[in-house]
Chain A
C-alpha cells in the first residue's frame, strides 16, 4: 500500500517537474510558428533593422529597430539607476543595519515587489511625468527616463534580495580574517565582501535586466510610445512589450500585423533567454566557488 502511494506521489512530482519544461517548449513552438509566418512576406533584415513601424498602414511597414532601441534604452536607464542603489541597500541590510532594522527593511523591499505595475504606472503618469517635464523643461514628461525610473523601482526587490543572499553566503572566515588583519568595516566590505560576492551581484544585475525588459504595463503608460529612433533618454520611446500589449487587441488573427507582434515576441524571448543564461552562469560560478572554499 505504502509502495503504491509513494509510486503515485513520485510520478506526480515527476509530471509537475517535467510539466513546466513542456509548457515552456510549447509556448516557444507556438511563438515560433506564429512569428515565423511573418517572414513569408517580410524580409528578416527589414524587420529587425527597419526604422518605420506603421503596422496598420497600406502598405504596412514593420521595422522594429526603434522598438528594440526603445526597450534597450529604458532598460539601460533602469539598470544605471537600480544597480548602485541596489548594491548600496543590500550592503546596508546585510552588513551595516542592526538586526531589527534590517528585518523591517527587508520586508519593506519585498513589499515593493508586491505593488502591481499598473499602479506604479499610474503614479508615474500623475506625478513623475509632470515633475520631469518641469525639471528638464521638456515639452512632455512622458519619456524614456520616466520609464527607467519606474522600472528601477520594480527591479530593486529582485536585485537587492539576490545581492543580499550572495553577501550572506560569503564565508564568515573572510570577514573575521579581514577584521583580524586590522581592516576597518568599510575596507572589509569594499575589498573583501564585494569581490567575494561579485558573481552574485552580476547575477542579480542580469535578473534585474530580465525583469525590466519584460515589463509592460508601466512602460506603456509613461514612456509616450512614440516609435522614433531615440537619441536621448529625455525623448519618448516605444518598447517591444508595450507594442505587443497596445496592438494585440486590434490585430486580426492571421494577419501580417498579428504575425509581426508574435515575431516581436520571439525577439523578446531571445533577449530574455540570453539574459537568463548569463545570469545562470554567474549564479553557478558563485555557488561552486563558495563550495570550494
Chain B
C-alpha cells in the first residue's frame, strides 16, 4: 500500500503534478478505483491515489488536511463539522452515487422478506431464533460490520434505531463484528443460520438478498438499481464526496469526470446506483 502510494506520488512529481488524494469509505474504494482508472486513461498526465480506511477515516484525513477528497457513505456528523471548522476546514458535500445496503442470508434459508422492525429485533437480539420469524428452528447468527465502517453507522441509524435519532437501540453485544464486507459474505455463504448486511456491489448469487418493507403491510422491495434510485427500497443511502471548500482545478476536473455520463456509467457497472 505504502509502496503504491510512493509510486503514485513520485510519478506525479516527475510530471510536475501532485497526485489527487482520495481517502475514506471502504464501500466506495472499488468505485473510486474504477473512476481513477478511466480518468487517468483520459488525462494521462494526472495522478490519483485511492485509499480506504472507512468514512470516518477519510473525514478525519480531510480535517487534518492529508486528503483532497474524502469519500463517505454517510453524512458528516455535527461534531465532525465543528471540529473541521475549528481547524479552518469548511467541508463541501457532493453526492456522486447512491447505494443500497442489502440484507443477505444463506440461500438455504426459507425467509424471503423482513420488515425494518424485524431486522432491528434481530440485531438487538429481541428475536433470537429463525422460528419466531416463520423459519426453521435455528439460532440466528447476526453479523455486523465493524464500527469503523460507514455501513455499520448507516445500518445502526436506519435499521437498528428504526431511523429515529433518539432511539436507544444498539447492536446487541453478541452480534458478531466482521472486519470486512468480504468476511460477512464468507460467513453468510458457509453458515445457514447467518444474516448479514453488505453494500449492493458485494451481492452475488451465493447469498440471498431479502426484500425489505417499512412495516408488515408492505410493500416489500428487493434491493436493485431501480428500487434504490426511486428511493423505494428502505435501506438506501447517498455516496458522497467531501472537499475542503471549492476544490482546486485539478481536483475539480476529477469531480467533473465523476459526474459526467462516462463517470456515472462506471457507477452502474460497479453495481451502485447512478444519480443522473
Q: What is A's interface to B at a CB cutoff of 8 Å?
A: 52-57, 66, 125-126, 129-130, 133, 139-142, 220-221, 224-228, 235-236, 238, 246-255
Contacts and interface: CB of A to CB of B under 8 A. Distances in A.
Interface string B153-192: 1000000000000000010011111110001001100110
Nearest to B153: A56
Interface stretch (B2-10, B56-64, B244-252): B56-64
Contact of A249 (B54, B64, B187): B54
B147 A56 contact: yes
Contacts, number: 87
B174 A250 contact: no
A54 B170 contact: yes
Secondary structure at chain A's binding surface: helix, strand, loop or mixed?
Answer: loop
A250 B54 contact: yes
A125 B183 contact: yes
B141 interface: yes
A226 B177 contact: yes
Contact of B80 (A56, A133, A252): A252
15 contacts: A52-B173, A54-B170, A133-B190, A139-B138, A139-B140, A235-B174, A238-B177, A246-B177, A247-B146, A248-B148, A249-B54, A250-B55, A251-B56, A252-B80, A253-B60
B276 interface: no
B46 to A, nearest CB: 27
B230 interface: no
A252 B83 contact: yes
Contacts of B80: 252
Contacts of A246: 146-148, 177, 179
Interface string B177-209: 111000100110011011000000000000000
Contacts of A249: 53-54, 56-57, 148
A220 B146 CA distance: 10
Contact of B173 (A125, A133, A226): A226
Nearest to B83: A252
A140 B187 contact: yes
Given A252-B56, A253-B64, 17 more contacts: A56-B153, A57-B170, A66-B173, A133-B190, A139-B141, A141-B191, A142-B176, A226-B173, A228-B173, A238-B177, A248-B148, A249-B56, A249-B57, A249-B148, A250-B54, A252-B60, A252-B63
Contacts of B193: 139-140
B1 to A, nearest CB: 13
A251 B89 CA distance: 18
B194 A226 contact: no
Nearest to B79: A252
Nearest to B24: A249
A57 to B, nearest CB: 6
A53 B171 CA distance: 11
A251 B83 CA distance: 13
Interface string B67-91: 0000000000001100100000000
Contacts of A247: 146-148
B190 A130 contact: yes
A250 B147 contact: yes
